[in-house]
Structure 1
Amino acid sequence: MNTYKRSPILRGDILYAELGAAAGSEQAGFRPVVVIQNDVGNHYSPTVIVAPLTSNIRKNILPTHVHVGRESGVRPSLVLLEQLRTVDKCRLGDKIGHVSKSVMHQIDAAAAISLGLRSLQKDKV
């Protein structure tokens, strides 16, 4: 998408990305995404780990969803942490905004649930 020299991509940035065609319930097309990958990876890797956003906030809310809004530079949306994906930087478009630290903590928790790193229920001893 972009061939010009871009600003550094940072964890928590919200950018447009071309996600391509969908199969089934995958998010697709040109849409906002939030950068999940760490800043070292963002600097050196040709790819970035992102989570897509949807403005369809009426859908079933899952523990892997996080609300973001105008304070992050986007209209009210959900970050879909069950749809994490790695994209090449050439798929990234313009930066729209950046999530706050408190929203990033919510994103971290939802990603941990999505990846099975954190249980929805307390572990029994």
Structure 2
Amino acid sequence: MMKLGNQLLPGMVVWADLSPTQGREQSGRRPVLVVSSENYLSVVDTMAIVVPFTKKNRGWPNHVKSTGPTGLTVDSWIMTEQIRTISRDRILGVRGAVSPICLKTVRTWVGDFLGATLV
């Protein structure tokens, strides 16, 4: 796993410590997908908007199968209903990235859930 450095980009798969959490939120150390725009990441340089991965295929249409050089060793799905803003201090390192089409699909689901159009 690579150290983050200063550059965080949309589509990056990073390892993050999501604890503590409450209720049904995903917790613990796990991979998350950076879905923030480049503009957000440059303006808000201490936070990132992310969506966690899971290894469990629930068959839900909004769980997007990850594609691209993710750096993950098992098939994984991106849980678009679990969007969250985290401190960059929670990010432990970089694993890889998803394909542009995968990022676009995830952002489409997130945009739908937020009542917005994201590209």
Q: TM-score, normalised by structure 2?
A: 0.84
Identity score, percent: 27
Q: CA RMSD in A?
A: 2.0
Q: Secondary structure at the match of 1:72?
A: coil
Deviations, residues 37-76 of structure 1 (Å, cap 9, x unaligned) = 011221231110000111112x2x3332110157322121
Runs of 4+ off more than 4 Å: none
Distance in 2 between the 1:5 and 1:68 partners?
Answer: 21
CA contact (8 A) 2:56 2:77 kept: yes
Q: Which runs of 5+ in 2 are unaligned?
A: none
CA contact (8 A) 1:55 1:76 kept: yes
CA contact (8 A) 2:67 2:102 kept: no
Choose 1 or 2 for highest CA Rg. 1
The alignment of Structure 1 onto Structure 2 pairs a total of residues equal to 113
- 2:62 aligns with 64
Distance in 2 between the 1:90 and 1:26 partners?
Answer: 19
Q: Which runs of 5+ in 1 are unaligned?
A: 119-125
* CA 5–105 in structure 1, closer or farther in 2 if over 3 Å, else same: closer
CA contact (8 A) 1:63 1:113 kept: no
Amino acid at match of 1:73: G
